[in-house]
Amino acid sequence: MRLTELGLKALAITVAVSAISFSPSSAESTLDQPLATYRLRLYETHTNERMDIIYRRGDTYVPSAVAELDHFLRDHRTGTEYQLNPELFDLLHDVAAATGRPNAEIDIVCGYRTPRSNAFLRSTTGGVAEHSLHVEGEAIDIRIPGVPTSRLRDFALRLHRGGVGYYPVSNFVHVDVGRVRQWEYP
């Protein structure tokens, strides 16, 4: 196969454009830009465990960190772990940032729940949904020390990222990555 004069010119132009577009200086400047890191600082109120973890770099979740979070947010009654929806981690990160305290430690009141734990809670306390998103790994109950739960609820509502339940007597806010909705349980 022979390259025609027109084909050779097109090839030369393509190589020149590629050299300009991907010159070492532009490649270095792209590589020099640090990826955004997403960190969570958590305290599990039932097990007294603490975690400080970077779970995402740029648009990529860190698999080992996600596995650690799944373990940390396990059902504290049974020890059962579940693969949580990573959007929940982003929601926690963004709620803390919305409070103006992006590095705040978040108290975890309840993470994942097994169906059995959910049924137990439904039979012994009020305000527990039969088809709770905790069972699906898409909900978490939280508070942030130093931030009134009424304000935490308001910050979560402004994000428009899922359900927000306010439990003033129990002193926590439920957040989830389901459909956008809100409620209050006395």
Domain of 45, CATH number, reads 3.30.1380
- The CA distances from residue 31 to 28, 38, 52, 54, 55, in Å, are 5, 19, 27, 20, 21
pLDDT for residue 5:
53
Q: Is the pTM of this model over 0.85?
A: no
Q: In terms of residue numbers, what domain contains 105?
A: 37-184
For the residues 61-77, what does the mean pLDDT come to?
98
The fraction of the chain above a pLDDT of 70, given in percent, is 83
If asked whether residues 48 and 23 sit together in one domain, one would say no
110 versus 16: which is more confidently predicted?
110
Tell me what pLDDT residue 40 has.
98
Arithmetic mean of pLDDT over the chain: 88
Closest CA to 70 of 46, 51, 94, 98: 51
How much is the pLDDT for 29? 46
Whether residues 64 and 122 share a domain: the answer is yes
Q: Coil, strand, or helix at residue 186?
A: coil
Query: Are 147 and 180 members of one domain?
Result: yes
Whole-angstrom distance, CA of residue 69 vs CA of residue 54: 10
Domain total for the chain? 2
> DSSP E strands: which ranges in the chain?
37-44, 49-57, 60-61, 105-110, 139-143, 163-167, 172-176, 181-184
Residue 139 pLDDT > 90: yes
Do 14 and 68 have their domain in common?
no
Average of per-residue pLDDT across 4-26: 44
Q: How far is CA 170 from CA 45, 105, 142, 174, 185, in A?
A: 13, 19, 11, 11, 9
Is residue 25 domain-shared with residue 89, that is, in the same domain? no
What CA–CA distances, in Å, run from 137 to 67, 96, 146, 155, 158?
Answer: 13, 20, 27, 22, 22
105 vs 27, higher pLDDT: 105
In 103-176, which residue ranges form alpha helices assigned H by DSSP? 115-124, 149-159
For residues 26 and 113, membership in a common domain is answered with: no
Q: Are residues 5 and 87 in the same domain?
A: no
pLDDT of residue 34: 86
- 68 touches 120 (CB < 8 A): no
